[in-house]
Structure 1
Amino acid sequence: MPKGEGKVLAQNKKARHDFFIEETFEAGIVLQGTEIKSIRAGRVNLKDAFARIQKGELFLYNMHVSPYEQGNRYNHDPLRTRKLLLHRKQIDKLIGETKEAGYSIVPLKMYLKNGYAKVLIGLAKGKKKYDKREDLKQKEAKRDIERAFRDRQKM
């Protein structure tokens, strides 16, 4: 986590399962009035979200932010497209990388930093099915080793 990071509001655990994350960027996000209240309450889902570059700007799609209970007519569309804020050099780098085949931009987590909502996005390359199976095997083996070590210490 970057230095000074506050409360983590949402994580996209599936992203690390489906992609190899090559590089990460911290991006600001443009929100409407009731969205930030809903996000602060933790009512956000990054599961199927992805980012795309259009006309030199970065946009986040399919991020679900539940409507705010007290928002009445000022509420927002839960799945609306939201603009991400990055420096021009970072966007140019992402444009160059995503032109290569197989690269995607996926949100990894959303958190509060100094009162502002931030999204950690990752430059990702898709995993094949056998890569996912290999990761699961390694995870399971590590868990078995830790369990055996823990049981051995209890004796």
Structure 2
Amino acid sequence: MNKKVNMLTLALSIALLPPLWAVLSPYIGITTGSVALICAGVYVANGNKLADASKITIGFLCGDVWAILALFIMETLPFSKNIVLFITLFVLGGLAVIIGEIGHKFIYTPSWLCGWAIGLTIMGSMSFSKLHSLPLQIAVSMIVGVFYVGVGVDLFQKALIRIIKK
């Protein structure tokens, strides 16, 4: 019975909360709403640990900044595209791991790397000068992903389970 209740309450929570974000996000100028689902996935993969939500979020935001920095570097260096790509990924990837591990009490390194990949995926084909509000939209979606979709779904599901068990 407990497995069935967990499954059904999780299904309802996932079916209800993330679609609300998907519908509402464009109305507040966020075109990157789906990023929230990726970020929630990392939060869940970390075990739904509320204590880690802030450092996971900080990691994602570091990744967003890293993507902006990578795009700037790749547009600025005068070498061939492949060499610039390799150098940028080599240096920034290594630095992200070193900084993330030194600051592990405040930064979740896997979310930093994932956030960087998200940023590069979305912004990678754009020129640095055309980014406009896109990095901010990605950042908002990352925060929403951890706290609304990740934490929110977990808390909503737990509340449903408490109601059902009464």
TM over 0.5: no
Asked which structure has the greater RCO (Cα within 8 Å, sep 6+), the reply is 2
Higher percent of residues as strand = 1
